[in-house]
């Protein structure tokens, strides 16, 4: 499999067990767009799958990313298999991000071990509406 193929868009935007494992065990790229329609991309070290179509992300140090989400909630995340050179498979997850500065989701990110000692400024829940296979 090579990177030159077009990705397949899945009929159902649902995260399966294989995708969940890949998401929760690898870094992801998170892309946002500012009000000038310029892209911005960062690496996210930990994302938690909270349902078949939702991801939970901790906002510990976001600056431009959170400003962009507040103005335009459309986001894209991408992840590839750790051994991508031998097994070039990955996924793009498109959806809408919502920020929570209090309540259930903020409390949930505070419980994640990797966030110990981090500021946990807000929680971001991304509701996925499209999944593309990157192969």
Q: Where are the domains of the chain?
A: 8-134
- E strands, the chain, are 8-9, 28-33, 39-44, 47-51, 54-59, 74-80, 90-100, 122-134
Indicate the CATH number for domain 8-134. 2.30.110.10
Question: Is residue 122 within 8 Å of 101, Cβ to Cβ?
Answer: yes
Element (H, E) at 66: helix 64-71
pTM to 2 decimal places? 0.90
Q: Which residue has the higher pLDDT, 135 or 27?
A: 27
Number of helices (H), then strands (E), in the chain: 3, 8
- Bridge partners (DSSP) of residue 127 are 54, 96
Tell me which of 4 and 68 has the higher pLDDT. 68
Residue 6: pLDDT band (50, 70, 90) is: low
């Amino acid at each position: 499999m090579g990177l030159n193929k077009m990705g397949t868009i899945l009929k159902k935007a649902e995260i399966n067990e294989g995708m969940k494992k890949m998401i929760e065990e690898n870094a992801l790229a998170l892309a946002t767009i500012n009000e000038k329609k310029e892209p911005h991309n960062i690496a996210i070290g930990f994302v938690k799958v909270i349902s078949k179509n939702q991801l939970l992300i901790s906002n510990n140090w976001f600056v431009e990313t959170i400003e962009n989400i507040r103005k335009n909630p459309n986001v894209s995340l991408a992840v590839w298999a750790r051994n991508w050179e031998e097994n070039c498979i990955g996924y793009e997850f498109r959806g809408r991000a919502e920020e929570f500065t209090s309540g259930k989701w903020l409390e949930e990110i505070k419980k994640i071990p990797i966030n110990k000692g981090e500021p946990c400024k807000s929680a971001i829940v991304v509701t996925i509406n499209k999944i593309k296979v990157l192969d």
